[in-house]
């Protein structure tokens, strides 16, 4: 069964690469460059298991930490992966896993798979 994964990033090359890697493995992925649009998708009623976001977005946009907090308040079981510079680690503590930038799509993929497996009920 494909996972429901939302990826939010304003660097479209990175966003496309992560989505391509995840989709090629059979996962259902929604991509967004704007955290507010991503929130609308998370809130829309479909189960989202993984949220991949950066911490900081361009001026005038919300940030990934606010998105993660809001997602967690509505979906307590959601797993969050932040792709951000190491100096943002203090902002992500307790909310999700930080993958220090620059990070490859492969590392994001491996982290998503690990988190999905950790959420599966034991056989």
Q: Note whether 37 and 43 are within 8 A (CB).
A: no
Spatial CA neighbour of 33 closest among 50, 18, 23:
18
pLDDT (average), residues 62-66? 95
Q: What is the pTM of this model?
A: 0.93
Query: Into how many domains does the chain fold?
Result: 1
Distance, CA of 41 to CA of 91 (rounded, Å): 23
pLDDT band with cut points at 50, 70 and 90 for residue 1? very low
Domain extent for 30? 4-119
Distance, CA of 16 to CA of 8 (rounded, Å): 10
Distance, CA of 41 to CA of 29 (rounded, Å): 11
Q: What is the pLDDT of residues 18-33, one digit of tens each?
A: 999 999 999 999 999 9
CATH number reported for the structural domain that contains residue 107 in this entry: 3.40.50.2300
């Amino acid at each position: 069964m494909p996972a429901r994964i939302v990826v939010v990033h304003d660097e479209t090359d990175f966003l496309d690469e992560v989505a391509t890697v995840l989709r090629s493995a059979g996962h259902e992925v929604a991509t967004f460059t704007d955290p507010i649009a991503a929130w609308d998708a998370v809130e829309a009623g479909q189960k989202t298991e993984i949220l991949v976001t950066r911490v900081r977005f361009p001026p005038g946009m919300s940030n990934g930490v606010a998105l993660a907090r809001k997602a967690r308040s509505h979906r307590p079981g959601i797993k969050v992966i932040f792709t951000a510079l190491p100096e943002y680690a203090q902002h992500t503590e307790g909310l999700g896993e930080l993958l220090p930038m620059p990070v490859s799509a492969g590392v994001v993929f491996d982290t998503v798979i690990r988190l999905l497996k950790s959420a599966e009920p034991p056989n």
